[in-house]
Amino acid sequence: MDVETKMELVKSFAEEIITEDELRNLFETNSHPVAYDGFEPSGLAPMHFALLRAKNIHKMLKAGIKFKLYLADYFAMINNKLEGNLDSIKATSDYFVEVWKACGIDSSKVEYVKASELLDNLDYWTRVLKVGKAVTLDRIKRAVTIMGRREGEAISAGQLFYPAMQVADIFEMDIDICQLGIDQRKANMLAREVSEKYGWKKPIAVHHALMLGLKGMPKEAKLMEKDEAFQYKMSKSDPGSAIFVHDSYDEIKRKIAGAYCPEKIVEGNPMFNYIEHLIIEGRHSQIRIDRPQKFGGALDVDSYDELVRIYKEGRLHPMDLKAYVAAELESMIKPIREHFESNAAARELYERVKGFSVTR
């Protein structure tokens, strides 16, 4: 595959690339660079965790990129997820692996790395201290948004280690591309700055868009306001904001029916967020929305932009749009749900994780 085709694959899902020139040069000089995405094992998997990440990973693998899926178990413990119970967190790590398998991620083509495996190493902690020495305390405090905390929110002393540890991970795993959500931007920018100070390999940051929660986003907010974006995303700690990969079709329809989707409004509307980033493949994809004949019958749309225009003009009712989104999500979630229903080991992990107390 040529370099420009690889670039287009990455750009097809990237909200931001820092920088495109660096990424192009990387592809020109390295046939199989290493990328990673990291996850706190902190509860049942919402759809964005599974579907969006899997979609991005498939594209990166197609581009010849080696991928590491980082299970940040100790980070979840520090961040008090699942009440800080490390045994529960590690069980959830195993459950996450089953979710990725159910999404069609070939375990032979990715590497699973657990934070607990990196932390048992004095060299790692030396690197963490070096990262800490390179930045101010105020800078670390501003970076707490990467763990789903508001800047200025009361945090424990242990949580102050989190940003420096996340930066150290990048260098310990010898990462070329940090492929995470845009809410993780501060950590990746810290890593780039620290790399210059110490002469470490500078990672390229590829940030994907966040999936909005079902409650939508206020009109005045923007996803690209990166420091505040996390509060509007789909979150497993707020079940009312999320669709989970184990939800039945009836549950999906019920949640979508109650979601934020005002007439003629596209901005902050999670239905359009899901269509653009998850359901369709490219903004020029053709879309068919089935409607009762009395409401106009099937609506064929040639592109995402045309769908936006039709909706803003009031030519598509929110309930018809919601029915389309619910049906598309069901087709994507059903194989995951069936994997856990038919696989005894996976089912046992699911039942165990389902019983854990989710904490923010």
* Tokens coding 301: 């749309």
Query: Which domain does 143 fall in, by range?
Result: 3-208
What pLDDT band is residue 338 in, cutting at 50, 70 and 90?
A: very high
Q: Could you say which of 176, 208, 240 is where a domain stops?
A: 208
> 266 and 203 in one domain?
no
102 inside domain = yes
Query: Which pTM does this prediction carry?
Result: 0.88
- Rounded to the nearest 10°, the torsion over CA 217, 222, 226, 228 is -40
Are the C-beta atoms of 318 and 263 separated by less than 8 Å? Answer: yes
Angle at Cα 349 formed by Cα 347 and Cα 354, nearest 5°? 95
* pLDDT of amino acid 353: 93
Q: Where are the beta strands (DSSP E) in the chain?
A: 14-18, 34-39, 66-71, 110-114, 177-181, 204-208, 287-289, 299-301
> 170 and 95 in one domain?
yes
Question: Rounded to the nearest 10 degrees, what angle do helices 249-257 and 318-342 cross at?
Answer: 150
> 198 and 79 in one domain?
yes
Q: Average the pLDDT over 280-293 and give the result.
A: 85
What pLDDT band is residue 224 in, cutting at 50, 70 and 90?
A: very low
> 318 and 250 in one domain?
yes
Number of domains, the chain: 2
197 inside domain = yes
What pLDDT band is residue 329 in, cutting at 50, 70 and 90?
A: very high
> 135 and 272 in one domain?
no
Strand-pair partners of 113: 70
> 165 and 43 in one domain?
yes
213 inside domain = no
> 128 and 63 in one domain?
yes
52 or 49, which is more confident? Answer: 52
The CATH number of whichever domain residue 66 belongs to comes to 3.40.50.620
Are the C-beta atoms of 165 and 140 separated by less than 8 Å? Answer: no
Reply yes or no on whether the pLDDT at 235 is more than 80. Answer: no
> 151 and 7 in one domain?
yes
195 inside domain = yes
215 inside domain = no
Output the CA torsion sign for 299, 301, 304, 308. Answer: negative
The CATH number of whichever domain residue 344 belongs to comes to 1.10.240.10
> 326 and 190 in one domain?
no
165 inside domain = yes
Q: Could you say which of 175, 208, 241 is where a domain stops?
A: 208
> 265 and 302 in one domain?
yes
> 234 and 203 in one domain?
no
> 268 and 198 in one domain?
no
Q: Where are the beta strands (DSSP E) in 93-232?
A: 110-114, 177-181, 204-208
Q: Average the pLDDT over 303-324 and give the result.
A: 95
220 inside domain = no
What pLDDT band is residue 223 in, cutting at 50, 70 and 90?
A: very low
Q: Average the pLDDT over 190-201 and give the result.
A: 96
Note the pLDDT tens digit of each residue in 107-144. 888 999 999 988 888 899 999 999 999 998 888 888 87
359 inside domain = no
